[in-house]
A = this chain, B = another copy of it.
């Protein structure tokens, strides 16, 4: 391995002089700099970032721990994080928990050992333990996508409750009364928020939320599929509209509706959160979009400010607005009758 000593010897200077050239720090005569640069080139020298990190006590690395990397929503969040990070001279280590708390804890431990400069993570349980473990080591962190009630920490998330409320009201305005909700796990805060927004809209319209129309599953395609079949075997009369807790649930749900011979929107209206990629044909799903790129960007910005010590003020919660996109997966109720 070529080290700074080899370069120093070759250039006829001390290692610290080479270090100054590499880091562009302190005064160097042009003549010396040129000799050092030539030696670096001849030896194909690149500095060892591990020893630099040990000295600088900084690794220029942030961790991004997401809950499901196969969901395009998170792929887009990741892009936002990466763009903001590379602008700030940091690299991103991407980790995926599949919503498993033990995986999350394993990653946090590993990344703390590796002296990661900061954490961006999607909490799974509402427990503050992990946050405190990171804090105790004075490592900055920003919580992504889901609030952590009672914990004084920076959070960047979308307005799930508002989104659920607006899209449920949209269905109500079309005349729907039996609106089924296929929710993600209620241990996850966004699921609870969407449930709350849905129920609030119903109640505001004088409709008592019906437990038979609410099913709890996972944020997965397969789960959406299973929930629809379970729902239609369970309920009489069936719902006239379906609110899927996220994009993957929507895909699975539509697959099941297709199997049951139900057409969208003639037989049943469908709405969800976030778009489905790789859709063939005209996009037709009416939905609420969050801004995943923006979410990642803002969270990373805030984290990097913390790392650089330029973050202003106390921990705060940034709630990004959502948008209702009306397309063609919903029909007025009376059209069917």
Residues of chain A at the chain B interface (Cβ within 8 Å): 1, 44, 46-51, 53-54, 59, 69-70, 72, 75, 78, 82, 91, 93-94, 96, 109-110, 112-115, 133, 136-137, 221, 248, 251, 254-255, 258, 276-282
Known contacts A69-B75, A110-B91, A113-B49: A251-B280 contact under CB 8 Å? yes
A44-B136, A54-B54 known; 15 new pairs, CB 8 Å cut-off, are A44-B133, A46-B109, A46-B112, A50-B50, A50-B114, A69-B78, A70-B277, A93-B93, A251-B278, A254-B280, A254-B281, A255-B280, A258-B281, A277-B278, A278-B279
Q: Are A50 and B59 in contact (CB under 8 A)?
A: yes
This chain: how many copies in the complex? 2
How close is A119's CB to chain B, nearest CB, in angstroms?
15
Residues of B within 8 A of A113 (CB): 46-49
Determine the distance from Cα of A51 to Cα of B56 in the docked complex, in whole angstroms.
Answer: 12
Residue of B nearest to A251 (CB): B278
Q: Which among A49, A53, A137, A281 has the greatest number of chain B C-beta atoms within 10 A?
A: A49
Q: 7 closest A-B pairs (Cβ-Cβ)?
A: A49-B113, A49-B114, A254-B280, A258-B281, A251-B278, A50-B115, A50-B53
Report the bound CA distance from A110 to B94 in whole Å.
16
Question: A49 to chain B: which residues have CB within 8 Å?
Answer: 110, 113-115
Contacts of A133 in B (CB 8 A): 44
Residues of B near A46 (CB, < 8 A) are 109, 112-113
In the complex formed, the residue of B with least CB distance to A138 is B1
Complex interface: chain B residues within 8 A of A48 (CB): 54, 113, 115
Most buried by B among A49, A109, A280: A280
Contact present for B221 and A278 (CB under 8 Å): yes
Residues of B within 8 A of A114 (CB): 49-50
Measured CB to CB, the closest approach of chain B to A117, in angstroms, equals: 12
A248–B279 Cα distance when bound, in Å, is 11
Instruction: Give the Cβ gap from A131 to chain B, nearest Cβ, in Å.
Output: 15
